[in-house]
Structure formats: structure tokens, C-alpha cells
Amino acid sequence: MKISIITVVYNRERTIERAIQSVLSQSYPDIEYIIVDGLSKDSTMSVVQQYKDRIHTIVSEKDKGMYDALNKGIQLASGDVIGILHADDEFASTDVVEKIAAQFSHHSQPDAVYGDVGFVREEAPDKIVRYYSSAIFKPSLIEWGFIPAHTTFFCYKKYFEQYGGYRTDLQIAADFDLLARFIRKHNIKTNYIPEMLVKMNLGGKSTNGISSTIRINKELKQVLKEQQLSSSYFKLYARYFIKIQEYWKRGK
């Protein structure tokens, strides 16, 4: 089974090499690696080109943002399964993709798998400061704004073709929209891997201060309404009381 991993990047010269090396060091043998760059103005592409012989597809062109770039990568992918590794992130170990592939061969025959994320700071990538466990997730919690850790979500490509890719009209919540559509609306079958699969840098679009918090909850409310799911701002903001526990689990 071929697994396509997509990294989209724009001006991340400081972190892109760690992401690339994380993919190239995976023990699973059948990986297609795709990098989609949005015409970076720094030396990002110089770093990428150092690994061009080991990266299957490299695209560097203007796009309409991260979600547009992800859709480009999905269209280019030829793998049976698609996963995403952002330019600021890295796999937690060299056998992560191997473990993910094994889940798709499990007798339960899932359509997608996911796991946990450890958050780190760029200057200290080995120190977990927050731990997001997907263990509590169940489809009914989508109405409260919960989804599995998106960056650990690996899914058969055929579902992107059937149910659509990432919405480009949303600034932050397109990943929430996609998982809500796949899991809640279309009832794809998922398996949970109870361990940290990805180390993710703090400071992304959805973790970047009060303005992003307000924006993402506005977009979550919009998505839930459009998908005819019951929700409210009370539910959406209540989930932050649970998120506080993620800092207590940082040493896991």
C-alpha cells in the first residue's frame, strides 16, 4: 500500500529541513513524498532542493493559501492513503508511518486512522509543552468543536475524491470542516492509535492568540450550521476547559 505524505510550505527555512528529514527517515518503504511551496521568498526552496532526489514531487507556485496548497498536493498524490505533515512539524519516531499502515491492514478495516500530538516550541523541539490526546474523541463531540488531531489524520484518497477536499473560503477551520464531513456526515470508519504520532510547533493558525481563537470559533459555528449540526458558542468555548488538561499531560 502506497502512502502519500504532503507538506505545504511558505517561508519556513528554519523548520522545513526537520520536516523533510522526518519523512525521509521513516521505516515504511512505500512512501510518496510531495512538497507544495507557495513561492517562498526566503531560502526554503534551497533547502528543499537539497533533497530533490528523494522527494517524488516538488511544486513551487503561487497559491491561495495553505488549504489551496493542500488540495493541489492531494490532486498530485498517487498513493492509496493520504496524510499531511506541516512544514513546522515532524513525526514523533521513525516508525510512525509503519504503524499507520498496519492499521489499514487491521481486521477492522478502517477508512482512516489518527493518533495524538505533542506540542513543542521551535527552539526546544524535544520538550513537549502540551499534549493533545485524541482518545476522548467520538463523532458526537464534533458539535462541541472537537476533532481528532488533524495532522495525524491519514485517510484513503478515494474519500477526498468522493467527499471533496479542503475549503479555501475558510481561514482556519477547513481542517475541522473536512473531518466533520468525513466522520460525522459520511460516517467513515476510523481507528485510533493511542500514542503520539506527530510533534507540532506551537504558534500555528489555530493556536496563535486571542484573535485566532475568536476567528476559529466563528468559523466552527459556520461549519456546524452549514452541516446542519447543533451547536452554540457556549459549547465551542466550553471545550477550552478540557484543553487546559493538555498542559498537565505534557510529560506523557
Tens-place pLDDT, residues 181-231: 999 999 999 999 999 999 999 865 544 557 778 888 899 999 999 999 877
Of the CATH numbers 3.40.50.300, 1.10.3720.10, 3.40.1280.10, 3.90.550.10, which one belongs to the domain with range 3-248? Answer: 3.90.550.10
Residue of 183, 150, 181 whose CA lies nearest to 82? 150
Is residue 53 exposed (0-12), middle (13-18) or buried (19+ Cβ within 10 Å)?
A: exposed
pLDDT band at 126 (very low <50, low <70, confident <90, very high): confident
What is the residue extent of each domain of the chain?
A: 3-248
pLDDT band at 106 (very low <50, low <70, confident <90, very high): confident
d(CA 228, CA 144): 14
Statement: residue 244 has pLDDT above 60:
no
Mean pLDDT of 14-40: 98
Cell 449540526 identifies what position?
229
Instruction: Name residues whose C-beta falls within 8 Å of residue 173's C-beta, 6 or more positions apart in sequence.
Output: 206, 216, 219, 220, 222, 223
Global pTM? Answer: 0.90
Under 8 Å between Cβ of 77 and 41: no
Task: Indicate the pairing of strand 90-91 with strand 190-201.
Answer: antiparallel
Mean pLDDT of 135-158: 94
Amino acid (one-letter) located at 96:
V
User: What was the pLDDT predicted at 212?
Assistant: 79
Statement: residue 251 has pLDDT above 50:
no
Find the helix or strand (DSSP H, E) in which 248 lies: helix 245-248
The more confident residue out of 129 and 206 is: 129
